[in-house]
Homo-oligomer: A and B are copies of this chain.
Amino acid sequence: MPKQERDDTKGIKNKKAGDFPEWYAEIVQKAGLADYAPIAGCMVIKPYGYAIWENIKKWFDSRIKETGHRNAYFPLFIPESFLKKEAEHFSGFTPEVAFIDKKEETEAGEDRYALRPTSETIIYDSYSKWIRSWRDLPLLLNQWCNIVRWETKATKLFLRTREFLWQEGHTVHRTEKEADREVMYILNLYKELAETLLAIPVITGKKTENEKFAGALYTTSIEALMPDGKALQMGTSHNLGQNFSKPFNIKFKDRDEKEKYAWQTSWGFSTRLIGAIAMVHGDDRGLVLPPRIAPIQIVIIPIIFEKNKSRVLAEGEKIRKELEGDFSVEFDRRDEYSPGWKFNEWEMLGVPLRIEIGPADIKKKQAVLVRRDTGEKKTIKRNQLKKEAEKMLEAVQKNLFRKAKKFLTDSTVSAKTFEEFKEAIENKKMVKANWCGDSGCEESIKEETAATIRVIPFRGEKAKGKCVHCAAKAKHVVYFARQY
């Protein structure tokens, strides 16, 4: 049987610098991250995409467990009457809520069941039963689950779909200060996840009143800039204050024997992170995965000629065994494809490091390493393989972050005037500018430019002078961008 040579129908047709949305949709599907589902606006997360999610989950799950957080599972269904208990929360979410065809007959009439768009209300109903005393606090729970938001805007694989997966943490504390600390502890974990695992640099800060989570006292966020100049919210951590504990009656008897309303936080990130990885690091040949979350970190490709076949396969297998304890390794011993075909395929999948091994390499006691991010080839001594592979993977991880960081820095500009501001937004920049602090002014800027305030940075610059839009006295220096 002749070997399958390079198959051009399999390559990536769109260019990242060309039609970015088409390029994105193409690499996500061709690399096997996700597929469109037969339900409009929904997706199928394919095994390769799901394996990235599992790696993200594993890291985050073990980190929060170290600090006493535990997982639980609350119902998919939320009585509509619960959603209505916190007015701001209700109006923030109802446009996107789907209901089922079953309902409860109550004294007050019918109560429909919503599919959770987020679980504050159903969880806090349980909390009100479980919490009695300061001894029950802090209560630190998290759940990994599916979420339904019946989007009416155009959907996009991973970034906006009617169903997605996420984690949502819901904690209860004795004091406001404790809740503040929890919010920042989680936000810093999110930043660490984004930067050290996903190699995506983020800006952190508080959301404005307009942009905060419906029902929160305040919202903090990590924000990344995508290659098309749009910001992506990668995770949010909210201090809910007593906004939910009051309507849901979450009270505890404190050490001083007084009954008090509890302080709460909630926080989450979703499978959209997988989309961010594809957008930020991908190139015209496909995905480029950061080694720390790559399902396959190293692929070994045997360069086979008929007469040396068994020897090369034996050597490849030996290498696989050497590496598999320390790395996630795949040895592509398929006979029906040529090495060139395999190179293309594994490059499309974004595997960070390729090892080529052929008869000449065996003879010279060497191996060839090829980096996915730069394409750099390096011939190394066979007995240095593990060390060199480890070094190169670290270099890939660092380089991806450095490149993304440079892009973020280069794409962030300051604007003094509204003319400069508009031009920068049109040029797909993240814009640092003075803002007066007024929600109406923020709303006008959004209407005129489609840009919103991504965050008011923590420990940001002191505002001097006037608001970039209304010329009132500036209160904050903030980051603006268009967003996903």
| Residues of chain A having any CB pair with chain B under 8 Å | 35, 37-40, 42-47, 50-51, 53-54, 70-77, 79, 82, 98-102, 104, 113, 115, 122, 125-126, 129-130, 135, 141, 145-146, 148, 150, 163, 165, 336
Interface contact B98-A72, CB-CB below 8 Å:
no
Whether A45 contacts B73 by the Cβ 8 Å rule is yes
Chain B residues positioned under 8 Å from A77 (CB to CB): 37, 39, 42, 163
Q: Pull 6 A–B residue pairs with CB atoms less than 8 Å apart, ordered by A.
A: A39-B79, A44-B126, A47-B71, A50-B73, A100-B101, A135-B336
A45 to B72, CA, bound (A): 6
Tell me, rounded to whole Å, the shortest Cβ–Cβ distance linking A110 to chain B: 13
Q: Which of A39, A73, A113, A165 has the most CB of B within 10 A?
A: A73
CB pair A51 B76 closer than 8 Å: no
Decide if A42 touches B75 in the complex (CB within 8 Å).
yes
Closest to A78 in B: B39
- What B residues does A115 contact at CB under 8 A? 76, 100
Q: A75-B163, A77-B163 are in contact. Are A141 and B44 (CB under 8 A)?
A: no
Query: How many monomers of this protein are in the complex?
Result: 2
Tell me how far the C-beta of A205 lies from the nearest C-beta in chain B, rounded to whole angstroms: 32
A70 lies within 8 A of B47 (CB): yes
Residues of chain B contacted by A51 (CB below 8 angstroms): 70-71
Question: Which 9 A-B residue pairs are closest in the complex by CB-CB distance?
Answer: A47-B70, A45-B73, A42-B75, A37-B75, A39-B77, A99-B101, A47-B72, A98-B100, A50-B72
Residues of B close to A129: CB separation below 8 A? 35
Contact partners of A44 in chain B: CB under 8 A: 72-75, 126
Q: Which residue of B lies closest to A115 (CB)?
A: B100
Minimum CB–CB distance from A324 to chain B (whole Å) comes to: 13
Which of B70, B79, B98 is A102 in contact with, Cβ under 8 Å? B98
Residues of B within 8 A of A148 (CB): 76
List, in ascending order, chain B residues with CB within 8 A of A113's CB: 39
Known: A42-B75, A77-B39, A148-B76. A101 touches B104 (CB 8 A): no
Cβ-defined contact, B104 with A39, below 8 A: yes
**Hey, which chain B residues are within 8 Å of A70, CB to CB?**
47, 50-51
Distance of A213 Cα from B40 Cα, bound (Å): 29
Residues in chain B near residue A74, CB distance under 8 A: 37, 44-45
> CA A428 – CA B83 in complex, angstroms?
46
**Residue of B at shortest CB range from A129?**
B35
A101/B98 in contact, CB under 8 A: yes
A150 to B77, CA, bound (A): 12
> A81 CB to closest chain B CB, in angstroms?
9
Q: Which residues of B contact A336 (CB under 8 A)?
A: 135
Q: A102-B150, A150-B102 are in contact. Are A165 and B47 (CB under 8 A)?
A: no
Contacts A38-B125, A50-B73, A99-B101 supplied; 18 other A-B pairs, CB < 8 Å? A35-B129, A35-B130, A37-B75, A37-B126, A39-B75, A39-B113, A40-B104, A43-B75, A44-B72, A45-B72, A47-B72, A50-B71, A53-B73, A73-B165, A75-B163, A76-B163, A99-B100, A102-B150
**Is the CB–CB distance between A38 and B79 below 8 Å?**
yes
Instruction: Determine how close the nearest CB of chain B comes to the CB of A33; give it in whole angstroms.
Output: 11
Q: How far is the CB of A123 from chain B (nearest CB, A)?
A: 8
Complex: A73 Cα to B45 Cα, angstroms:
5
Minimal beta-carbon separation of A92 from chain B (angstroms):
20
**For A43, what are the chain B residues with a Cβ–Cβ distance below 8 Å?**
75
Q: Looking at the assembled complex, report how far the CB atom of A403 sits from the nearest CB atom of chain B, in whole angstroms.
A: 30
CA distance A73 to B40 in the complex (A): 16
A172–B53 Cα distance when bound, in Å, is: 24
Which residues in B have their C-beta under 8 angstroms from that of A101? 98-101
